[in-house]
Amino acid sequence: MMSLLHSGHSTRPLFEVAIEQIRAAYSQETARQEGIHYWPDPLPTPSHLLPDPLILFHPGEFDRPATESVHQHPYLAVIPMTRREVLERRNRENIKPSMQIPLGLIDNPEHQKQETLLVDLHGAKDEQAGGPLLIVGAQQSGKATALQTMIFWLVSRFFPEQLHCAIIDPFSELNHLQALSHMYNRQYEHCWTTGSSDEQINRFAKLINTEIQQRRDAFPAQRWNTQTLSQLWTQGHTIPQLLIIISNFQTFSDRHSATIVLKRLTQSVIEARAMGVYLIVTTTETNTRYLPAEIMNKCSTRIGLRLNEQQRHELFGRIPFVPEPVPGRGLIQTPDRKLHHIQIALPLAGKDENVREHHLKTELIDDFHA
């Protein structure tokens, strides 16, 4: 009989916990020395020497900074294609809506494998598999970078008429993405705010609620289900996928009226998933004082980056292991309640944040002129 370990929200098979503990105590190097060669590779770990070990797209010859030779830098890419190839596909193919976002690598020690970490906001095949995403992490743990990687993927994969983003960005961490056409709705209204006043939050909520209502009105007879959006695209009605991002939710905790509006908004967005409306929330805090329990409980996929013990417990229940405290490293709990170690990919290579931001801007300006 399989033993189970109870851990707060979830019940984990004992073998999963045992594997974690063995991996922590018995390194791959020791295993190799002792003749065991099938030990899974550790997740790529950013360090001073190698700050960008894992990136989203395969770096093509032209994408590589001129100062770096091909072999100098052992990048690992999540997507085996260059961004140019992905853009060419977007131009060439009849793309279907999809909110499966490749975000990094996920450890699957029980199968001795590392796989692509796919976050699925829509859940096309199975309603249980998709849903809102919550990213929790201390400052400098990689939350904004995770958002950048996801947005970079989506804007590379979809034209603006296929994907809109609406973003509340209190710390202006995603500023360099602000001017993208994907950030405007069908009425050419800019769906972007820092949310620093209640008026801005109200306007933002109104834009989203109007869009949701329009979707309801446009197809009253249609029973929206997980296949509907895809069927509509096939029939030539390209209703854009709409991604709502609320970054650093904890910043609103002292603003009662803004919190109420955001709570209602997230509720409506969560209910509109079948209509192609999706939600990502990030926060530094897990406590209900900073993140309403209604939102936390509805987020079926949770990512925890560098957290303290209390936060880990609030997010995942009691767990017997602690991920390494490196940027972009953490745990994911998927809608099936399983927990895995992950490493999030950087949107693109570069020795530090400034260099990467510059590359990202250049890439996106090139798109604009393409």
Ligand X SMILES: Nc1ncnc2c1ncn2[C@@H]1O[C@H](COP(=O)(O)OP(=O)(O)OP(=O)(O)O)[C@@H](O)[C@H]1O
- Interface residue list for ligand X (CB under 6 A): 46, 52, 137, 139-145, 171, 173, 284, 327-328, 344, 346, 353
Q: Which is nearer to ligand X, 171 or 368 (CB)?
A: 171
Output the six-digit token pair for 104: 């990094």
Show binding-site residues for ATP.
137-144
Minimum CB–partner distance for residue 366 and ligand X (Å) = 22
| Least distance CB 277 / ligand X (angstroms) | 24
Q: Which spans in 26-161 are helix H?
A: 28-33, 83-92, 143-157
**CB closer to ligand X out of 9 and 351:** 351
Q: Are 161 and 239 in contact (CB under 8 A)?
A: no
Residue 100 buriedness (CB in 10 A; 0-12 / 13-18 / 19+): middle
Cβ-based nearer residue to ligand X, 242 or 299: 299
Nearer to ligand X, 176 or 203 (CB): 176
Cβ contact 119:106 at 8 Å: no
Q: Which residues are annotated as a binding site?
A: 137-144
Return the closest-CA partner of residue 252 out of 209, 180, 193, 175: 193
CB of 219: closest distance to ligand X in angstroms? 38
**Pairing mode, if any, of strands 277-283 and 241-246?**
parallel
**Which candidate, 244, 290, 301, 320, places its Cα nearest to that of 120?**
301
Of 52 and 211, nearer to ligand X (C-beta) is 52
If the CB atoms of residues 174 and 183 are measured against ligand X, the closer one turns out to be: 174
* CB within 8 Å of 220: residues ≥ 6 apart: none
Q: Closest separation between CB of residue 328 and ligand X, Å? A: 2
Least distance from ligand X to the Cβ atom of residue 184, Å: 25
CB of 171 to ligand X, least distance (A): 6
Tokens for 303, please give them: 């990512």
Residue nearest to ligand X (CB): 328
| Minimum distance, C-beta of residue 148 to ligand X, in the bound complex (Å) | 7
Distance CA 154, CA 131 (A): 17
| DSSP-derived secondary structure for 15-50 | HHHHHHHHHHHS-HHHHHHTT---PPPPPP---SS-
CA-nearest of 81, 65, 86, 68 to 367 is 86
86 vs 355 by CB, closer to ligand X: 355
Structure tokens at 259: 């919190």
Closest CB to ligand X among residues 63, 173 = 173
Residue 134 and residue 150: Cα distance in Å, rounded?
13
- 3-state secondary structure at position 152: helix
Number of alpha carbons in the 13 Å side-chain half-sphere of residue 111? 7
Contact 281, 246 (CB under 8 A): yes
> Smallest distance from the beta carbon of 48 to ligand X, in angstroms?
11
